[in-house]
Structure 1
Amino acid sequence: MSAGLLLSLAGLALVDSTSIGTLFIPVWLLLAPGPVNVRRILTYLATIAVFYLAVGLLLVGLGTSLAGVLGGALDNRGVLWAQLVLGVGLLALSFRYDGRRRPRSGGVLRWRDRATAGDSSARWLVGLALLAALAEVATMLPYLGAVGLLATSGVGPAAVVGLLAGYCLVMVLPAVLLLVARVARPAWVDPVLVRLNNWIIAKAGSALGWILGIAGFLVARDAAARLGLFSLLDR
Structure 2
Amino acid sequence: MGTELLLYLGGLALLDTLSPTIIGVTLYLLLGNQPRTASRLFVYLSTVAILYVVLGIVMMLGFTSILDAFSSLTEHVIVSRTLFAIGVILFIASFFIPTNKKRTIPLPKTESLLSITIIGLTTFLIEAGTAFPYFAAIGLMTSEGVPLYLWLPTLIIYTFIMVLPAILIFIGYRLMGKWLEGPLEKLRLKLAEHSNSALSWVMCIVGVVLILNTI
Tell me whether the two structures share a fold, i.e. TM-score over 0.5: yes
Unaligned 5+ residue runs, structure 1? 225-235
Letter of the structure 1 residue corresponding to residue 113 of structure 2: A
State the Cα RMSD in Å.
2.1
Matched, 1:193 2:184: yes
Letter of the structure 2 residue corresponding to residue 13 of structure 1: A
Which residue of structure 2 lines up, in the alignment, with residue 133 of structure 1?
Answer: 124
Does structure 2 retain, via aligned residues, the 8 Å contact 1:145–1:215?
Answer: yes
Structure 1 window deviating more from structure 2 (11-20 vs 31-40): it is 31-40
Change (3 A) 1:181 1:216: same
Does structure 1 retain, via aligned residues, the 8 Å contact 2:40–2:113?
Answer: yes
Q: 1:97 Cα deviation (Å)?
A: 3.4
Change (3 A) 1:167 1:206: same
Greater Rg by CA: 1
Q: Deviations over 1:134-193 (max 9, x none)?
A: 222222111111111222333332222111111111111110000111111112221221
Letter of the structure 2 residue corresponding to residue 104 of structure 1: K
Unaligned 5+ residue runs, structure 2? none
Q: 1:73 Cα deviation (Å)?
A: 3.4
Paired with 2:16 and 2:90, the residues of 1 have a C-alpha distance of: 17
Paired with 1:35 and 1:165, the residues of 2 have a C-alpha distance of: 29
**TM-score, normalisation: structure 2:** 0.89
Paired with 1:85 and 1:158, the residues of 2 have a C-alpha distance of: 29
Of 150, 154, 157, 2:141 maps to: 150
Structure 1 window deviating more from structure 2 (144-153 vs 82-91): it is 82-91
Structure 1 window deviating more from structure 2 (8-17 vs 125-134): it is 8-17
1:1-235 superposed matches below 5 A: 1-35=1-35, 37-71=37-71, 72-76=73-77, 80=80, 83-97=83-97, 99=99, 103-105=100-102, 107-108=103-104, 111=105, 114-115=106-107, 117-224=108-215
Structure 1 window deviating more from structure 2 (192-201 vs 161-170): it is 192-201
Change (3 A) 1:82 1:3: closer
Change (3 A) 1:119 1:98: closer
Aligned pair count reads 214
Secondary structure of the corresponding residue to residue 195 of structure 1: helix
Identity of aligned residues (%): 28
